[in-house]
């Protein structure tokens, strides 16, 4: 029986990932270059800085760039794009349903605590989460399972009693390595990336009620 659900943050609850990619893509376009989704997608869901976008741009155009100036421009573009973004469809419905069903609710993110908690506060949903673990809490972030393992320990549930909600291949791999069920809800950046072992794929959490999703998980575990 499922006792807990654990959410990723970036790209799943709040789609920061799409706007980060689009901000970079605007910069690449200004240099008559391209940042393919399959290249950028490899760093989604893991530690920030694993992919050097400016080095890739320099490789594309064959010369060096002013990284400080581009970093400033990137932030300005990102803030403009993210300004109108809202919580992803169905997320708050799932949080409310989980609370009514008596499920424990956790969050495991490869991002930093100030980033995650700050956004959760702005979205008005911080109070739903009993346990939050972020990059500062582990030596290795996703796809390593440590974040999920710590969150499960905090919630006091076994891996087979919990569902992870993810949007990226790195996150899904971390969840499955931790022994959890994994439901993926990709975004614009991750929808075309290759996912391996998962349990259910949704276009959004508005697609199916949490109660129905739990029934599908229960049915799949019996077969």
Active site residues: 8, 10
> Hey, is 133 helix, strand or coil?
strand
Asked whether 163 and 97 are in contact (CB, 8 A), the reply is no
Q: Which two tokens mark 11?
A: 């790209």
Instruction: Report CA torsion sign: 21, 23, 26, 32.
Output: negative
Question: Is residue 62 left, alpha or beta, with left meaning phi > 0 and alpha meaning psi from -120 to 50?
Answer: left
Residue 6 φ/ψ, nearest 5 degrees? -130, 125
Q: What is the chain's percent helix, strand, coil content, to nearest 5?
A: 50, 10, 40
């Amino acid at each position: 029986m499922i006792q807990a659900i654990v959410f990723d943050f970036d790209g799943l609850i709040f789609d920061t990932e799409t706007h980060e990619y689009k901000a970079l893509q605007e910069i690449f376009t200004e240099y008559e270059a391209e940042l393919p989704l399959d290249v950028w997608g490899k760093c989604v869901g893991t530690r920030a800085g694993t992919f050097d976008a400016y080095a890739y741009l320099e490789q594309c155009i064959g010369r060096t760039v002013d990284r400080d100036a581009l970093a400033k421009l990137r932030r300005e573009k990102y803030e403009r794009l993210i300004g109108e973004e809202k919580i992803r469809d169905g997320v708050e419905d799932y949080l409310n349903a989980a609370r009514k069903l008596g499920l424990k609710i956790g969050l495991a993110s490869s991002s930093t605590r100030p980033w995650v908690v700050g956004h959760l506060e702005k979205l008005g949903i911080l109070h739903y989460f009993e346990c939050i673990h972020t990059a500062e809490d582990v030596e290795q972030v996703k796809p390593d399972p440590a974040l999920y393992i710590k969150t499960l320990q905090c919630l006091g549930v076994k891996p087979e009693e919990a569902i992870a909600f993810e949007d990226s291949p790195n996150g899904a791999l971390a969840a499955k390595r931790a022994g959890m069920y994994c439901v993926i809800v990709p975004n614009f950046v991750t929808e075309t990336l290759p996912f391996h072992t998962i349990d259910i794929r949704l276009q959004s959490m508005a697609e199916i009620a949490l109660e129905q999703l739990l029934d599908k998980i229960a049915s799949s575990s019996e077969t």
